[in-house]
Structure 1
């Protein structure tokens, strides 16, 4: 892709202006030119050098690499740019992100200078249906989350986030099942300080954050967690160690505080269930190695471990697992995961229950790329007791253990920052016992901002 020098100048005009009376370095820019002042200011700031040090050649086509160099120099003068100019430079940084990376310029550095606080969020509208059960308004729910990200300095970031629970449409949107809103319908799901050090290889996060328990599937816990986590990462491997406590977030709506009756109405139930992860403490660790070149670039393998304690009634002692992710070219990905729990057999008839998972995906749906999409097929084999009651980041909300099941799904970005997804289970069988297992259908719209 090529662009005009003059077009790039319009985007970065007057950034870094320090001297209105600097000498004109270009013999082909007359003093009566409409662009004279901007050209001189940009040259004086070091954003442009011209050709052979003497000619501007404003009609000359330039390469993406040259445009990225100009953008990088404009980024260095962000403190002298107006709000409008910062927005323009931000767009240029997005456009030339790959070239800037090759120049050793981190786009995150630009984000640090755009403003101290950045507000983001997402909204989800979801439909869930279980075959064989009566469909009603409770099949539909929604959730909204807001995040404030404050860049304190080049190394330190503070994040605060709030989230609603999953509000269903059957009870006027109230998660409690009553006509009035419950006081716990909105809660703090993020509140942490993130410190980057050691040449950007080390990262320490302390506070409340989202913790996905080990596996890459989100099969186990994927919710609010209070703790501390230390991470080291380079181009070859990543190591994580952490400690904390599983907290009450959206997990208590479906697995602790609320229970749906036969008609789909939600009623209160005990939050102190012995098999619930809520209130359990854990120390955890994870190792992941990255490998592959060419078509296998970005592939990885890893292992993880959790040691549970702090709640006498909880029957799981520890958990370990291993995973692998293989990229085949730019489109295909194969993910595999194995997991085993050491568990008190008074709660399950299976000795040290295991979980196996595999997923083959084609394409990648990205919120930033309209019309991008992916399609996938998965297989789950989970023994009785393999799922720890607490929450899940998995698309399934029921039939999570004692099953063998397949699933398919499609994700499609129909507009920037707006994605539609649909998932369906099939060929689901109970592993132990004669209970029938229903198939699950889920569809959702997710909007990010």
Structure 2
């Protein structure tokens, strides 16, 4: 950005001199003549203390400036915002939002801006994915290559200093493009209001969320921010409390996720919703180890009576090692599957990692997962599987390995390649005889 362009913006946010006559004051910079188009703005900004110039008494108006330098300018304007009129304040707010990351690095608090009623902040996410998996309807194991698209628009609207509304609008293309087909397939995608809830602090609690709020427990092993089938969060309430360095959350909600479950797991009719209660606990052990524990149960323990515990270790440079174990002792598992409990565990080792804000950063990982039939009948967790494999969690079980690599080709993006090699089992047995392989290539962009 040229400094003269920045001045065009800054003219509207100069805050302290109002209608002071420019000609009466001394020329603040030797290289800005009194007849120059920017002279009035430069003098006003200098007198307001928003700009300082260089030590040699020059302004260097044609010098290209960085976003960091512009953020310094905006920070000074924010400090004098109480002297600005309504139009100038609106411009300062827009600039503060544009340079929020740089202002944060400068240690400039933008809480007052963020807490203004009616100030809605938008951000988004788009994912373009190609999956190659065995066809679920083809016993020969012929490969299907499927294209999928997901777009999410997130909104944040402060209501006052303690309460905020958050929402997400999501489009999922489902199986809209079969890349092996000679003709375009029908678009089975849909648009959902995936989340919509109010969150804040009250009654001595650190978090209260009411509405269609996503639920994340532990490492996402028994419930992640997908919330339920199709990415639509359940309706309910979540409360959280920080006790020293530990975090505790409990909640109650109602989801329409169960329609995805296998008919073999529906001994109590064909419900279209599922009422659950849950709890999660996270606590650091020293500086390099984190312990988590979680609990999920539906009414009468028909489908879920699940507990899980896990550890995350960061004591090795550039490495993160994590693992989690869980058991489901629901009535389905005991009465229908006759196994007493459905067990599951996962372990993952990750080296470095892609930072979407830094081009050319990358990471790689390897993981092993095992989920017995009946562990997650309503698909409350994505567990990073392909659609074919995730569907098998309702109809049976799976176990195997995944290997992946991620890379940032340009700012605010992540390119991922992943291989999955699994064995699957049907709902009646956990013998894991059927082999399954999956490949994923996807580009995610954040805006």
The TM-score range, normalised by the shorter chain, is 0.7 to 0.9
1:143-182 to 2 correspondence within 5 Å?
A: 143-170=150-177
User: What is the Cα deviation at residue 359 of structure 1?
Assistant: 1.0
Unpaired runs of 5+ residues, structure 2, are 61-66, 135-139, 228-232
Q: Given the superposition, is the C-alpha separation of residues 271 and 144 from structure 1 closer, same or farther in structure 2, using an over 3 Å criterion?
A: farther
RMSD: 4.6
TM-score (norm 1): 0.72
User: What is the Cα deviation at residue 90 of structure 1?
Assistant: 3.7
Q: Given the superposition, is the C-alpha separation of residues 75 and 274 from structure 1 closer, same or farther in structure 2, using an over 3 Å criterion?
A: farther
1:292-331 to 2 correspondence within 5 Å?
A: 292-293=286-287, 296=288, 299-309=289-299, 314-316=302-304, 318-328=305-315, 331=318
Write the distance in 2 (CA, Å) between the matches of 1:198 and 1:7. 49
Write the distance in 1 (CA, Å) between the matches of 2:377 and 2:14. 57
1:206-285 to 2 correspondence within 5 Å?
A: 206-212=210-216, 214-218=217-221, 220=223, 222-223=226-227, 224-233=233-242, 236-248=245-257, 252=259, 255=260, 279-285=273-279
Q: Given the superposition, is the C-alpha separation of residues 204 and 47 from structure 1 closer, same or farther in structure 2, using an over 3 Å criterion?
A: farther
Write the distance in 1 (CA, Å) between the matches of 2:373 and 2:306. 15
Write the distance in 1 (CA, Å) between the matches of 2:20 and 2:270. 71
Which secondary structure does the structure 2 equivalent of 1:211 belong to?
coil
Q: Given the superposition, is the C-alpha separation of residues 145 and 50 from structure 1 closer, same or farther in structure 2, using an over 3 Å criterion?
A: closer
Contact 1:246/1:277 (CA < 8 Å) preserved in 2?
no
TM-score (norm 2): 0.73
Write the distance in 2 (CA, Å) between the matches of 1:383 and 1:446. 31
Which secondary structure does the structure 1 equivalent of 2:378 belong to?
coil
Question: Does the alignment pair 1:414 with 2:409?
Answer: yes
Unpaired runs of 5+ residues, structure 1, are 260-268
Write the distance in 2 (CA, Å) between the matches of 1:157 and 1:20. 38
Write the distance in 2 (CA, Å) between the matches of 1:309 and 1:49. 66
Write the distance in 2 (CA, Å) between the matches of 1:66 and 1:235. 38
Write the distance in 2 (CA, Å) between the matches of 1:80 and 1:395. 47
Which secondary structure does the structure 1 equivalent of 2:101 belong to?
helix
Write the distance in 2 (CA, Å) between the matches of 1:85 and 1:237. 38
User: What is the Cα deviation at residue 409 of structure 1?
Assistant: 1.0
Number of residue pairs matched? 409
Q: Given the superposition, is the C-alpha separation of residues 90 and 389 from structure 1 closer, same or farther in structure 2, using an over 3 Å criterion?
A: closer
Residue 99 of structure 1 aligns with which residue? Answer: 106
Question: Does the alignment pair 1:352 with 2:341?
Answer: yes
User: What is the Cα deviation at residue 244 of structure 1?
Assistant: 0.8
Which secondary structure does the structure 1 equivalent of 2:234 belong to?
strand
Q: Given the superposition, is the C-alpha separation of residues 427 and 119 from structure 1 closer, same or farther in structure 2, using an over 3 Å criterion?
A: closer
Residue 264 of structure 1 aligns with which residue? Answer: none
1:429-448 to 2 correspondence within 5 Å?
A: 432-433=430-431, 435-448=433-446
Contact 1:350/1:383 (CA < 8 Å) preserved in 2?
no
Contact 1:278/1:390 (CA < 8 Å) preserved in 2?
no
